[in-house]
Amino acid sequence: MAKQYDLIVIGAGPGGYTAALKAAEYGLHTAVIEEKKLGGNCVNRGCIPTKALLHASNRFKQMQQCDELGVSVDFISFDFKKMQQHKKRAVKTYRDEIRRLFDEAGIDYIEGKATIRRNRTVEVNNREGREYYQGKNIIIATGAMAVMPEIPGSNLPGVYTSSRLLAADTWNFDRLTIIGGGVIGVEFATIFNSLCSKVTIIEKGPHLLGPMDEVVAKELEKALRKKDITVYCNAEVSRIEDKDGLTCQVEVAGGESFSMKAGQILMAVGRKPNINGLLGDDMPLEMNQGKLAVNSEFMTSEPGVYAIGDVVSGIQLAHVAAAEGTYVVEKIAGRPHGIRLEVVPTGMYVSLPIVPNCIYTEPEIATVGITEEAARASGMKVRCGYFSMTENGKSIVTRKEEGFVRLVFESYSDTIVGAQIVCPRATDMIGEMATAIANGLTAGQLSMAMRAHPTYSEAISAAISDAMRQK
């Protein structure tokens, strides 16, 4: 007989483990099933390992530049294997902490490959054999996997996915070509550029970061090129060949083409939902453009079966999955929702996303709400406040003068509806703006708060003042 649970969570990434911990907090008998490692892609192959390498590589770059600050160092080098060991320690520490929280909360952690059967029964296959579990509710949080484009030569040695690149223990990346200029591509470009690799990004779209605001993307492109990173937009790799080393044939919009030595190649062209083998023949769920179809409550076409995170979302961010997991568990437990994914300000007819979008490049990029262009497209009249970081005291002191703060306010009410920040610590600063949008704060209300001097956050005050001068 199948073991019974109030909630079965399939996938132990940020969405899965957050949902499970919240369910246990509400007294729900909960199990989490994970095929690979506790923590999912984020902890093992994404957010945590990349940020660990970003931290290490940035330290190395800072030491290289310390002479201009009057600090002399005779010899600077890096040990890539030790950097990877630092990354592994961070991953293990994070994973151990999740397991400790599971144990304290009384959550059953089950390792194996899960397949959903009818009547919300889950079949789990592992080394011990086959077991069955039944849940009153099921949350699918299996995440996404890297897409390998059908480019001739993409299976050659030296062509990596992000997961394989993160697992490399030896340095062989003096020249790195990145196919794809999305979040994964630009973050890896930042890491390897800091480690003195000659980095080239090839992006088929008109600018980096896909759907990101073009002004933000262009600022990033300028910063990357200043660091000697080569960026080709409106360009595609048609084939990869091994000619005494990897070579890419690049096709540029308009008919131009050229061949370039590639060194090692990172495929960063996107990710797709990880649902292989998840659905049994007796449990067909509706799909929407390759993702699981859900309603506004994240329920699939099968009552009691929910899906969150990268298997459904267009925004593949760990904190989005975690917020969705919390939202679903609150619904299951009959609790009022304590977290919002979007808000409609009083007197407006536009839904504002309040989930921060953060990119850990140099400078960092963080956005929330809507852009000026999106606001005007929806018929909203807005005024924008802008401040360049070239005028910010902290930026001048730290020699980090790239970037800006741009805030978008609805014209009649002065309510903030969007923020785009490009500067050091932007990913920390954006939380204030998300809180402001969620609570419908106005420019006047935001201006009442002092921001310490000298800080990067002063740029927020300056952008608010700029908007208020336009009244």
Q: Do the strands 287-288 and 198-202 form a parallel or antiparallel pair, or are they unpaired?
A: unpaired
Torsional sign, CA 88, 430, 147, 149: negative
Q: Which amino acid is at 22?
A: K
CB atoms within 10 A of CB 260: 17
Q: How far is CA 65 from its chain centroid? A: 29
The active-site residue, picked from 55, 86, 337, 453, is 453
DSSP three-state, residue 395: helix
Contacts 24+ apart (CB under 8 A), 462-467: 462/385, 462/387, 462/391, 462/392, 462/405, 463/385, 463/386, 463/387, 463/405, 463/406, 463/407, 464/385, 464/407, 465/385, 466/385, 466/386, 466/387, 467/383, 467/384, 467/385, 467/407, 467/409, 467/414, 467/443
CB atoms within 10 A of CB 27: 10
Whole-angstrom distance, CA of residue 26 vs CA of residue 150: 46
The closest alpha carbon to 51, from 364, 294, 411, belongs to 364
Question: Scanning the structure block, which residue is given the tokens 């030296």?
Answer: 158
Is 453 a known active-site residue?
yes
Question: In angstroms, what CA-CA distances link 348 with 150, 166, 352, 419, 420?
Answer: 45, 45, 10, 18, 21
Residues involved in catalysis: 453
